[in-house]
Amino acid sequence: MTSSASATMEKKDGPPPVNWQAYWTVRLARALRDEGMQEKEAGWTAVLTEYLEQNPYAPSRIFVPRLESFLESRERGERTEAARCLYFFYDRPTPSEKHRAAAEAIGRRSLERGKGTVKQPAPVENPAQPKYAVSPLLDRLELELKARNYSRRTLENYRAASYHFLKWLAKEPTERDSDTIKQYQLFLKEKKHYSPRTVNLATAAIVFIYNEVLGIPISRSSLPRMKTGRALPKVYSQQDVEKIILGARNIKHRTMLTLAYACGLRISELRYLRPADIDLERNIVWVRRGKGEKDRAVMLDASIKPELEAFLKSGRGKTFLFEGYEPGKPLTTMTISKIYKHSCENAGIAPLGGIHTLRHSFATHLLEHGTDLRYIQELLGHASSKTTEIYTHVSSRIISRIRSLS
């Protein structure tokens, strides 16, 4: 094997790039600063870096026994501090109850061995906890959303946003909380550096839980809605799209990126595709319960059928088209995003954005080839034509036809 081939295999089969690990250490550092715990940043960043180097996976996908093995391998004093770090990490930047509980149990046990007693306090800097049970309230929220037939994505977003707000609030919600909610909006914008769109989503979730779950009247009009602006979508050339797809490691990843582009799919629609949604005889892909809980049919180009047929015969999941290690469960959005980014890296193309950029490219290329805007609206599943019209601003074909008056 040549050295270049060996290097290529090493790049493909090795752990994720260091930049990916750095993303989580930055998230940890930001959470520490938000809590006024800057003195922990240097030591805990080192612990987390070592932990992720030994376990090069998404933090929530690391098996708990690996976390336990990592902590148990350390000396007692170091073990307690590392347990505090991982407890905080799995409590804040990337919440996971099972990982957090494992870190706490090992930290407690380490102190008990050292001091000969079982009555030691938890070996972690526990944040101020609400004086009421949050989980039952979140379960009631989920029930109300399901009763109204809200989408899975909205349910997940509202639950996560409400969890973080209630944890920050740390008291019983009351009808006098309008100013407190405004303070939380500023906290998200100025301390957490969330985008105005994300802040508005969190506000919508908070208003829903007050009005519909708790029965506490909080007027949406009494809370500011942050201006979001509207950036133009970024678009790849058709040649770059082809390179990105060819940069995928295997047939599963290539098929995923191909469908994302050739069918203009959102990442949530891609995740929940099922084998039965692929109609090879009629050259159609069925998108079930897309945004707004609407179904739609998208054309299946003949050029991608051979590889898609091969994937359906050999590599597809049983329940969902694209499944991970756990049968019957779709790949996570984080995994799909990583596949897309790695394909860009392999193709030598700087990502213009997330995998949604392939959807933008699909719409723009259709427009440049003369497809009527109304058909593009149907293919994308847009409720309003105004949403689709944004692609006229980035279409090189349309822009080049405009003659200068100078």
Say whether 167 is catalytic.
Answer: no
Catalytic residue selected from 243, 266, 274, 289: 266
Question: How far is the C-alpha of 300 from the C-alpha of 361, rounded, in Å?
Answer: 17
Say whether 393 is catalytic.
Answer: no
What is the pLDDT at residue 290?
67
Say whether 382 is catalytic.
Answer: yes
Catalytic residue selected from 108, 359, 360, 365: 359
Which among 148, 145, 179 is positioned nearest to 162, based on CA atoms? Answer: 145
What is the pLDDT at residue 20?
67
Catalytic residue selected from 382, 386, 393, 401: 382
Question: How far is the C-alpha of 97 from the C-alpha of 94, rounded, in Å?
Answer: 10
What is the pLDDT at residue 244?
94
What is the pLDDT at residue 6?
39
Domain ranges of the chain: 3-115, 134-222, 238-401
What is the pLDDT at residue 378?
84
Q: What residues pair up with 296 in beta bridges, in sequence order?
A: 287
Top CATH class of 134-222 equals mainly alpha
CATH 1.10.10.60 fits 238-401, yes or no: no
Say whether 99 is catalytic.
Answer: no
Say whether 266 is catalytic.
Answer: yes
Catalytic residue selected from 61, 153, 291, 338: 291
Question: How far is the C-alpha of 392 from the C-alpha of 406, rounded, in Å?
Answer: 22
Instruction: Dump pLDDT digits (tens) for 20-33.
Output: 678 888 888 888 87
Say whether 356 is catalytic.
Answer: yes
Token readout for 334 is 């984080």
Catalytic residue selected from 356, 393, 401, 403: 356
Regions of the chain short of the pLDDT cut 70: 1-20, 34, 36, 76-77, 111-133, 229-230, 290-293, 315, 393-406
Token readout for 142 is 């989920």
